[in-house]
Chains A and B, each alone.
Chain A
Amino acid sequence: MQIDWVAVVAQIVNFLILVWLLKRFLYGPILRVMEERQERISREMDEAGEREAAAKEEERRHREARRELDEQRDEMLDEAREEAEATRRQLVEQARHEVQDLERRWHESLREEQDAFVRELRERMGRQVCSVARRALEDIANQELQAQVLSVFTQRLRKLDDARREELRSALGDADRAPRITSAFALTSAQRNELQAAAREALEDDLQLSFEESDELLCGIELAVGGLKIAWSIDSYLDALEHSVVGAIERETASEGRERDAQAAEAPSVDDVMPPSEVMPPEGEDRE
């Protein structure tokens, strides 16, 4: 078993060829590919890192935008709430005004009704008093009452103060018609003469009176000179009666109004104010 040196040299050559072949076909390509893969992976990692950073940035911006949106929304909600509150206050105020307006109008109509009532009452009372007086005069002493009325009126004529007398005289000068005596009852000629005398005594000596009758003067008599009048009638008493009745009614109404205002002030809150359409003047004894 000796060493064949030719074979050794041949094997060395073979081995070197194999080294070259494997370097060419095995180590080189494999190492190159692995290096490429490593580069690629590191590149992709870098890209992924960049993308992640970009995504984080994006997320941060989204968060920011969302926060801004939330703030805007809150602001808008607050504004809307304030506006709604203001509108509500305004509406309540308006409703309160309308209610007050209605109340005021109701008061006015009530007052008108009161006035009408008082007028009617006065008329009715005047008529009543008149008819009572008339019936009483007819039943008892018709002539006497007329005489009394006449004498009171005559007395008044005679007892006119100077200022009044002057007024009447100047009115008499201006007048184009004769002074006129209007009475609710027919005057006898004696009564007419007496009136004539009293008028002449009070005003002018050559005064000529005209006479007429009228039912509007309730059991009274009046002297019209131009635009001025001197009268006595149940009217004046009725006026006094009317004053006292009206005063009583107004006092009553005023006290009721105060009670209503006090009740309105005690109301718990503005929310409880009824809509205007439902606010109606209370009905009942106040209208009678």
Chain B
Amino acid sequence: MNQAMRLTPDELIIFEIGSLSVSATFVFTWLLMLLMAGGAWLITRRLSSDVRISPAQNVLEIIVMGIRDQISAMGVKRPELYMPFVGTLFLFIAVSNIFAAILPGFQAPTGSLSTTVALAFAVFVAVPIYGISQRGLGGYLRQYIEPTPLMLPMNVIGEFSRTVALAFRLFGNVMSGSLIVGMLLMLAPFFFPVVMRLLGLLTGLVQAYIFGVLAMVYIASATRVARGESDDVQPEATATKAV
């Protein structure tokens, strides 16, 4: 009951090292990191460039190709450049949410505001890094005074607000999912929690997709303006509207 009503895994302290208290967020994050990196290592250490490949390699290839195709769909020229960052965002959130939905007792790190803020902050930093590396400092900064210098405050505010929205959207969705499950367990212990967990599986994946796509859209808009002034605003607007 207590666990179910907890809003974030931050509040669950697993152990303490000296004055540092290690919450469930970190424990499950490390667990996920271990699982993902270890699994990837186990599979990719015996890769084959043959036409016949192992099923595990096939799955990994499908995932990697899917991510790359999605990034390409944003209209960037070299998807390999953005894939480690954007792909890891999507995979981390997706695996975390899936485990939370199918493993009882698993606390999704994405249900912690500190995790989502960290991820949003990473995007917030990555956008200018990618933008400057692709267009140069002047080219990147020029987008803040376009179409007119009058739009500068709006652009800066938008930069911050979309980062905050990114963090809270993910946190709110994951947290509300576990919260609803906890409340339903109290009201109707049978059947309904199962349906809600299924729903959580769906929303978890959708949230991972949204987070990844939005991150890519922000990066793409920062790197792509050189081709046309109007292009950088449009994908962001449509993607945000879709959410």
Q: Which residues of B contact A1 (CB under 8 A)?
A: 7-8, 113
State the CA gap A7–B10 with chains docked (Å): 9
Range of interface residues on B (Cβ < 8 Å): 35 or more
Name the residue on B nearest A2 (C-beta): B113
Q: Which residues of B contact A21 (CB under 8 A)?
A: 33, 36-37, 40
State the CA gap A23–B91 with chains docked (Å): 12
The answer to whether A11 touches B115 (Cβ under 8 A) is: yes
| Contact indicator per residue, chain A 255-283, by CB within 8 Å of chain B (1) or not (0) | 00000000000000000000000000000
Contact with B119, one of A11, A22, A36, A41 (Cβ below 8 angstroms): A11
Q: Which residues of B contact A15 (CB under 8 A)?
A: 88, 92, 118-119, 122
The answer to whether A18 touches B48 (Cβ under 8 A) is: no
Contact with A12, one of B7, B30, B60, B121 (Cβ below 8 angstroms): B121
The answer to whether B25 touches A7 (Cβ under 8 A) is: yes
Interface core residue of A8, A34, A37 (most chain B CB under 10 Å):
A8
Chain A nearest CB: distance from B154 CB in Å?
Answer: 26
Name the residue on B nearest A39 (C-beta): B49
From 15 to 62 in chain A, residues with beta carbon under 8 angstroms from any chain B beta carbon are: 15-23, 25-27, 29-34, 36-37, 40-41
Within 8 Å of chain A (Cβ to Cβ): is B85?
A: yes
The answer to whether B47 touches A33 (Cβ under 8 A) is: yes
Within 8 Å of chain B (Cβ to Cβ): is A10?
A: yes
Within 8 Å of chain A (Cβ to Cβ): is B83?
A: yes
Q: Which residues of A contact B57 (CB under 8 A)?
A: 30, 33
Within 8 Å of chain B (Cβ to Cβ): is A163?
A: no
Q: Which residues of B contact A8 (CB under 8 A)?
A: 114, 117-118, 121
The answer to whether B41 touches A25 (Cβ under 8 A) is: yes
State the CA gap A5–B121 with chains docked (Å): 11
| Contact indicator per residue, chain B 85-118, by CB within 8 Å of chain A (1) or not (0) | 1011001100000000000000001001111011
Chain A nearest CB: distance from B70 CB in Å?
Answer: 14
Within 8 Å of chain A (Cβ to Cβ): is B231?
A: no
State the CA gap A18–B68 with chains docked (Å): 18
Within 8 Å of chain B (Cβ to Cβ): is A4?
A: yes
State the CA gap A10–B10 with chains docked (Å): 13
Within 8 Å of chain A (Cβ to Cβ): is B72?
A: no
Q: Which residues of B contact A140 (CB under 8 A)?
A: none
State the CA gap A288–B63 with chains docked (Å): 123
Within 8 Å of chain B (Cβ to Cβ): is A14?
A: yes
Within 8 Å of chain B (Cβ to Cβ): is A190?
A: no
Chain B nearest CB: distance from A142 CB in Å?
Answer: 142
Within 8 Å of chain B (Cβ to Cβ): is A3?
A: yes
State the CA gap A11–B109 with chains docked (Å): 9
From 39 to 98 in chain B, residues with beta carbon under 8 angstroms from any chain A beta carbon are: 40-41, 44, 47-51, 57, 60-61, 64-65, 68, 80, 83-85, 87-88, 91-92
Name the residue on A nearest B116 (C-beta): A11
Within 8 Å of chain B (Cβ to Cβ): is A248?
A: no
Known A18-B88, A29-B47; judge A11-B64 contact (CB<8 A): no
State the CA gap A15–B120 with chains docked (Å): 11
State the CA gap A140–B166 with chains docked (Å): 181
The answer to whether A26 touches B44 (Cβ under 8 A) is: yes
Q: Which residues of A contact B119 (CB under 8 A)?
A: 11, 15
Q: Which residues of A contact B29 (CB under 8 A)?
A: 11, 14
3 tightest Cβ-Cβ pairs between the two chains A and B = A11-B118, A7-B114, A36-B49
Other than the given A3-B117, A11-B109, 14 more pairs (CB < 8 A) read: A1-B7, A3-B113, A7-B115, A8-B121, A12-B122, A15-B119, A15-B122, A19-B85, A29-B47, A30-B44, A30-B61, A30-B64, A31-B80, A34-B61
16 A–B pairs (Cβ distance < 8 Å), ordered by A? A4-B114, A8-B117, A10-B118, A11-B114, A12-B121, A19-B84, A22-B37, A22-B87, A23-B84, A25-B37, A26-B36, A30-B60, A31-B68, A33-B48, A33-B57, A41-B51
